[in-house]
Structure 1
């Protein structure tokens, strides 16, 4: 396995990114971090999964990492452009199988990952505590959104047709992993219900709750638990599908 630093050009900015890759052509896996996060934590998981035989790309969205100074002006539109640019960079890698791309999104990154599935080809989608936002105020700086309004919105079950991200989920036909934190004050259970109810066409749905965990997985034990869940799911879904290559993978395994 090897990893190398790279950059992603988007609009007038340069995003820092890292590619972790095995020696041969393999499935691609894109990690999308959450708001106020970075590629740092994702990179640890990416290196583990790359050792299994997957080309992984982590990156810092605008407003994070080297471009944290832009956070005050960064909108969801900006970050969606970042995610699209990162996906295109991964898909352009000469060793990536473009028919076998997985996306892993956490919190805000999970929200953007869902929208990504309506704009690019994604076969597997792993979501950890995906956040949810109203479609309104799309071009308002993300950090300026009304927190109280967000809390009220997330406390209700939202139908797919009323939300862009959920509408994308309703059209998604691949395999899904949904991971919830038991004590999440930012993404409450009704938001998870909204997402799970939206995946009407998913080939498979795997749900797991990490008991005792908070939104950011501040406990080392909870971070390890999530890493284990993700690695297990990727092994079953991504590499299981490659073992079954030649079919349509309609027998995709659901863990548990």
Structure 2
């Protein structure tokens, strides 16, 4: 925060005033949707967070929406490149403070979000039902991975030494929100627990479970519960950061 002195004209006289002006811009918030999803699912939440005084960016990963024809050939590595490019576009916005970047990911998008934090500065990281993939799948077509093998892997204990996403979590020093669905048939509790345990150096870690929810938040009440959790946490983070600046 810095101060600017001004002179205010009133009734032919002048009075002194002082503007208190933030030294930096506003937070930038990047949304990463899940596999088979699209930015459409994030638009409502992005609008709500933008109303807190943030610049939000939603986008479609390759293999989705207009590029759905690529779905069976696109790789996690390529989708990370998408995420990095989107991050750079957001960070380049003239209103955005590059030191106040947030990434909000769901499922596959949450997996990519953690890895993105290894390549670009991220202050706040929100992960809803974060999926996990073997490192050897990194350059393979995501749409052709063995579902049974993924289920086995996600039900096993995995640490930062064995997985690039969890390694990124162990190095992350910002604030984290981790959200689990109680009845998730794709991302079991073990996977979420692996993520939570990996955040050894996080400034803060908030972990919540949406009672009764499935992976896709198929019911309106589940989607509303997630929105409430996300918005409440983000409001706390943003207002807290502004209060300390």
TM over 0.5: yes
Q: Secondary structure at the match of 1:82?
A: helix
Q: Which residue of 1 aligns with 2:5?
A: none
Shift of 1:137: 2.6
Of structures 1 and 2, the larger Rg is shown by 2
Aligned mates of 1:79, 1:154 — CA distance in 2: 21
Q: Which residue of 2 aligns with 1:37?
A: 37
The answer to whether the aligner puts 1:202 opposite 2:202 as a matched pair is yes
Q: Which residue of 2 aligns with 1:185?
A: 185
- Please provide the CA RMSD for this pair: 0.9
Q: Secondary structure at the match of 1:102?
A: strand
Shift of 1:69: 1.0
Aligned mates of 2:157, 2:25 — CA distance in 1: 41
Q: Which residue of 1 aligns with 2:170?
A: 170
Shift of 1:146: 0.8
Aligned mates of 1:148, 1:197 — CA distance in 2: 24
CA distances 1:140-181 after superposition (whole Å, capped 9, x unpaired):
110101111100000012011100000000000000000000
Q: Which residue of 1 aligns with 2:65?
A: 65
Shift of 1:239: 2.3
In the superposition, the TM-score normalised over structure 2's length comes to 0.89
CA distances 1:88-136 after superposition (whole Å, capped 9, x unpaired):
0000000000000000000000000000010000000000000000001
Q: Which residue of 1 aligns with 2:20?
A: none
Matches within 5 A, 1:237-256: 237-245=237-245
Moved over 6 A (4+): none
Matches within 5 A, 1:116-131: 116-131=116-131
Specify every segment of 5 or more residues in structure 2 that has no aligned partner in the other structure, as ranges. Answer: 1-23
In the superposition, the TM-score normalised over structure 1's length comes to 0.86
Aligned mates of 1:177, 1:148 — CA distance in 2: 28
Shift of 1:41: 1.1
Aligned mates of 2:116, 2:91 — CA distance in 1: 13
Q: Which residue of 2 aligns with 1:6?
A: none
